């Protein structure tokens, strides 16, 4: 009976050591997932910086006739949840974080379409200062500027994004 328990324990321990330690090996690096109004988009991280308590993540998508960019700004440089809320009484956005989205079309380079968040959240789940990468998720509601006739929702996650 003791031998059977010992063998079961060895098999369990071997399984954990073999399969349990590979999680970080298969996690992608510089991964940036974006959904705009629940449609998957292919944005690429251009630059991530953490400087003096502010984290900025800039990503872009280049199409045939346009370039779209997302910039996420977080007024912190540590793990946690950060919110942007809109006070409907005063019309003021109170921000620990924010997102801007800009579309520049080759046909109309003079006036890009610009969107600004009024409500949202960023969750930083990990900052690895040794390897200089950051992970987390974001979800924002945006309106176009200057006319707020087209609401947008931009959400996604960033995994092991390198920063400087």
Q: Looking at residue 32, what is its pLDDT?
A: 94
Phi, psi (rounded to 5 degrees) for 37: 50, 45
Residue boundaries of the structural domains of the chain: 28-162
Do residues 127 and 77 touch, judged by C-beta distance below 8 A? yes
On the question of pLDDT at 5 being above 70, the answer is: no
| Residue 136: predicted pLDDT | 97
Residue 18 pLDDT > 70, yes or no?
A: no
In 3D space, the residue among 64, 146, 70 whose CA is nearest the CA of residue 113 turns out to be 146
Q: What is the pLDDT of residues 94-145, one digit of tens each?
A: 899 999 999 888 776 556 688 889 899 999 999 999 999 999 999 999 987 7
Which H helix or E strand runs over 24? helix 23-26
Bridge partners (DSSP) listed for residue 155: 35, 139
pTM: 0.79
Phi, psi of 130 (to 5 degrees): -70, -45
pLDDT digits (tens, 9 = 90+) for 51-103: 999 999 999 998 888 899 999 999 999 999 999 998 888 878 889 999 999 98
| pLDDT over threshold 60, residue 16 | no
How far, CA to CA in Å, does 137 sit from each of 11, 21, 120, 156?
36, 24, 11, 6
Residue 152 corresponds to which tokens in the numbers above? 């947008």
CA distances from 35 to 11, 17, 70 (A): 42, 36, 12
Segment (H or E) for 81: strand 80-87
Element containing residue 23 per DSSP (H, E): helix 23-26
26 pLDDT band, cuts 50/70/90, is low
In DSSP notation, 46-73 reads EEEEEETTEEEEEEEEE-SSEEEEEEEE
pLDDT at 126: 96
Helix (H, G, I), strand (E, B) or coil at 82: strand
Q: What is the pLDDT of residue 54?
A: 95
Which pLDDT band holds residue 1 (cuts at 50, 70, 90)? low
pLDDT of residue 89: 82
């Amino acid at each position: 009976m003791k031998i059977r328990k010992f063998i079961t324990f060895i098999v369990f321990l071997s399984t954990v050591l073999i399969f349990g330690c590979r999680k970080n090996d298969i996690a992608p690096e510089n991964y940036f997932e974006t959904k705009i109004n629940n449609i998957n988009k292919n944005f690429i991280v251009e630059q991530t910086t953490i400087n003096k308590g502010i984290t900025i993540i800039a990503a872009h998508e280049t199409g045939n006739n346009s370039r779209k960019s997302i910039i996420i700004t977080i007024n912190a440089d540590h793990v946690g949840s950060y919110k942007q809320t809109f006070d409907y009484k005063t019309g003021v956005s109170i921000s620990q974080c924010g997102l801007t989205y800009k579309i520049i079309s080759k046909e109309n380079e003079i006036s890009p379409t610009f969107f600004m968040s009024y409500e949202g959240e960023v969750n930083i789940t990990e900052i690895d200062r040794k390897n200089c990468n950051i992970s987390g998720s974001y979800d924002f509601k945006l309106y176009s500027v200057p006319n707020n006739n087209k609401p947008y929702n931009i959400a996604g996650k960033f995994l092991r994004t390198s920063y400087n």
